[in-house]
Structure 1
Amino acid sequence: MVHPETQRMRDLGFALGPLDGKKAFLAGGFHNFTTNPDVHTRQAHKYPQCNWGGTRSGTMAVDIDPKNGGSLEFLMKSLGLPNLLDTLAVRTGSGGWHIYFLHDGKIRGKLAGYDGIDLKTWRTGYTVMPGSVHPDTGKLYRIERDLPIAPLPQELLPLVTPPVYKPSPVTVNPERRSDGLVRKVAEAVGGGRNQITFWALCRALERGSSSLVPEIRDAALSTGLTEGEFETCLRSAQRTAGRVA
């Protein structure tokens, strides 16, 4: 059975999928989440103790995790905002927050300048839905503010917008052919970002152009890839390039 608060999120337009704790059961991850209630019923029978993840087109989640230093109160105070909860907001099972805003642009993986605050959109990930049980605390995720999803506050816009990649000046040095790798990464979108970043890092390392790694990193982060995801790509590329060498 799907929890009523999970169903409420579906009614609000969230595509849902079953989770094992916080990890998606489906092979395609959140890309295979759906708003179809019949599918959810079948999935609930197949995974009777599952949690649910969700994502919604045109919507960004501000994920505040106190375990990693995130604080809603500090965020509001530092930005001079009296309230960030005039929108749909979920209290997580760890005492944190999932706060939802309308925003369809590119985003960073984390809120700039703040610890413990991640950002997710339908292009980059999902959040655990209310009605789910936190795998560590055993506490429920609950809808705290059942309000229409509000536009992203202007004060948050510069903190969620990724830096713009600025290509290096054109040069006749043949080594700068590798600048095309950086452009490829900067233009990557959606689920292909990790693969393209990994590919570009492999090519750069194989060519001995390790000086391009910081540029590839900046380009990858500008697409919304997180620091952790980039580091994973880099370690894999270093192993691969080492085998080729």
Structure 2
Amino acid sequence: MTDIHALAGAYVLDAVDDVERAAFARHLAGCESCTLEVAELREAAARLAEPTWSVPPPRLRDEVLAAVRRTCRSGRAGRDAGTGPLAAHRRGGRRRHPGRRPGTATWLVQEQRVRDEHAATVAARAETERIRAVLAAPDAVVRSTFVPSGGRVTVVSSTGRAEGVVALAGLATPGSGRAYQLWLISDGTAASAGVLPAGRNAATVLIGGVRGGAVVGVTEEPAGGSGQPTMDPLVAITLT
């Protein structure tokens, strides 16, 4: 199960499903560090949305270095005078999230995280649109077959788009350290078309390079995939 603390960025960018959104909203009610993180990410996301903001403000490097120096001086003074972040922690004061830095340094970290989350969300949505386009293509052809060990593999292909969608459902869970790998086999040559995360037995995968007469195969390989199939395909579906 996904660590719920790791959902902060996706939650801010509305890149979670309804179940994750509800679970994280409940979590926020009792997690001070995540509440603070969400607030900071929303502030950073708002800045990214401003058309006038494109690069870090001038002198930002100097401000970061100054903030670091202030933090170091505060820590040293606190150890000598019984004040500062360490002393506050010893007195039962507010505990800061591990690894968090105040001021501009935190701004930089959160800014980059928002950018990364946004890029991942944009890429996922673009892939979803391509999947929908394959399914709606006028020349789309559907092929489906059962796997002897259980489950089904379905392929929707469009030679006009040179793309296909492979759906794996209900397959037997691969062994420890193993993963299902997809192959596009043409003219006797097998090229990897994607590797599922280790242990996963269901997925929907967009594949490219589709053409008539090619074969989609599925094998079980070491986690991370193999350069070439190490076994006969569990299923082999010919595209027309």
> Shorter chain as normaliser: what TM range?
under 0.3
Larger radius of gyration: 2
Tell me which of the two structures has the higher relative contact order, counting C-alpha pairs closer than 8 angstroms and 6 or more residues apart. Answer: 1
When the two structures are superposed, what TM-score results if normalisation uses the length of structure 1? Answer: 0.24
